[in-house]
Homo-oligomer: A and B are copies of this chain.
Amino acid sequence: MEAMELGRRERKKQQTRHAISDVATRLFLERGFDAVTVAEVARAADVAVQTVFNHFPAKEDLFFDESGWWLGPAQAIREAPADADPIDVLEEHYLAGTRDRFEVGHLATWKQFVRTIENSPALEARRRLQAAELEITLTAALDERAPDHLRNRLIAAQYAAAQKVLEEQLMRVLPDHASPQELAAAQTELEQAVTQVFAVLRRGLA
């Protein structure tokens, strides 16, 4: 079994997985996460319910399919030069993510995603779990470069707090159907908030 060229079997497996994931995402965005049953997803994707659970251990995994954004900050810290200020690294990482979201035009999709999450207690719980994992992995990454565990834990928790606050801010600032001008204004406003929030962290941890 080679890693590069996948055989027909593996290709079919990925194909099935993507079919399920696509159908599920569409249904969830259309009707809300809680209003769609796994059985419906299976039926819409024309597979057995068991097949769905073979690929996705829980219903929430159909929605959060391998995005893995919550591992980014830890990775950014590991890839940064040893003498860099962690807060600088984290702010730059966050800003890079923000720019990405504004550039590709994924913003409308993103907002719809967040809306769907906000309408589902189960998805909100899962997002909180992801944030907790972010804190754990980020703390571990910080522990590798400095010994002060309590401080590192606090940095990680504060980064997670900042991200949460800024995401809410973006939702608040972003109009539903934004014109290019509105979008640029929102981006400016958001970046100011980012600067402001990270300034608080930097000053506190100085």
Contacts and interface: CB of A to CB of B under 8 A. Distances in A.
A200 interface: yes
- Going nearest first, the 3 A-B pairs with the smallest beta carbon separation are A204-B204, A157-B161, A200-B204
B154 A161 contact: yes
Contacts of A153: 165, 168-169
Contacts of A124: 132
Interface string A166-206: 00110000000000000000000000010011001111111
A162 B169 contact: no
A150 interface: yes
Interface string A117-128: 000000011001
A164 B169 contact: no
A158 interface: yes
B168 A162 contact: no
A160 interface: yes
A47 interface: no
A197 B129 contact: no
Contacts of A132: 124, 128
A142 to B, nearest CB: 13
B196 A150 contact: yes
Given A125-B125, A204-B205, 14 more contacts: A128-B128, A128-B129, A150-B193, A153-B165, A153-B169, A154-B200, A157-B164, A158-B158, A158-B161, A160-B161, A161-B161, A200-B205, A202-B204, A204-B204
B154 A197 contact: yes
Contacts of A197: 150, 154
A22 B165 CA distance: 38
Nearest to A199: B204
A206 B153 CA distance: 22
